[in-house]
Amino acid sequence: MGENKDRMLAGKWYLPDDEELAADTHRRFELCAAYNANGGAAPADRATILGELLGSLGKDVRIRPPFQCDYGYHISIGDRTFVNFNAVFLDAAPITIGADVQIGPGVQLLTPTHEMDTERRRAGWERAAPITIGDNVWLGGGVIVCPGVAIGANTVVGAGSVVTRDLPPGVLAVGNPARVVRALSP
């Protein structure tokens, strides 16, 4: 593995435009294009493409195209999870999604972050932190989950919310930034 990819996987500052990461991006581009172009294809054919694209794919996962990601191989999705149209999963760090998760249209899971120093940002430096979504979570349409966030099992995040910090299990969270408004009954 190259130095930049090693740094990326370790959560350190890296430059995303080196040759190895560019090859990974090209692979992802081709697989996402094939998946998105085959939206009407048989489920088995679409599952085959997802199996090549993603790091781990549970049983009976449904992802409605179009779907976009950075690399794909850092994404793990549990059984019976549903991802609606226009999902964007930027997986410079691992994205782990549990079983029975419902992801609304236009949801963004964003692991990368950019340098605050203007010169380093201009040079393209970034780093990434993992995102973890527990079992039976529902992310409403347009939810954005920021780098390094974990969302506990059985939590619901209201449409349009921006999740900037961890959410506990079994709560309803809404807003920008998302805040817990109440516990949910088991």
Residue 182 one-letter amino acid: R
**Catalytic option among 12, 59, 114, 120:** 114
Residue 114 annotated in active site: yes
Secondary structure E strands in 78-128: 82-83, 87-90, 95-97, 102-103, 108-110, 112-114, 126-128
**Would you state the structure tokens that stand for residue 121, as one six-digit string?**
């940002």
Tell me how far apart the 2 most distant CA atoms of the chain are, in Å: 50
Q: What are the residues facing 144 on neighbouring strands?
A: 108, 162
Interatomic CA distance for residues 102 and 138, integer angstroms: 5
Cβ contacts of 39 within 8 Å, gap of 6 or more: 46, 64, 65, 66
Q: Is 172 exposed, middle or buried (0-12, 13-18, 19+ CB in 10 A)?
A: middle
Q: Which residues pair with 173 in a beta bridge?
A: 157, 180
Residue identified by tokens 């950075």 is 70
Catalytic residue list: 114
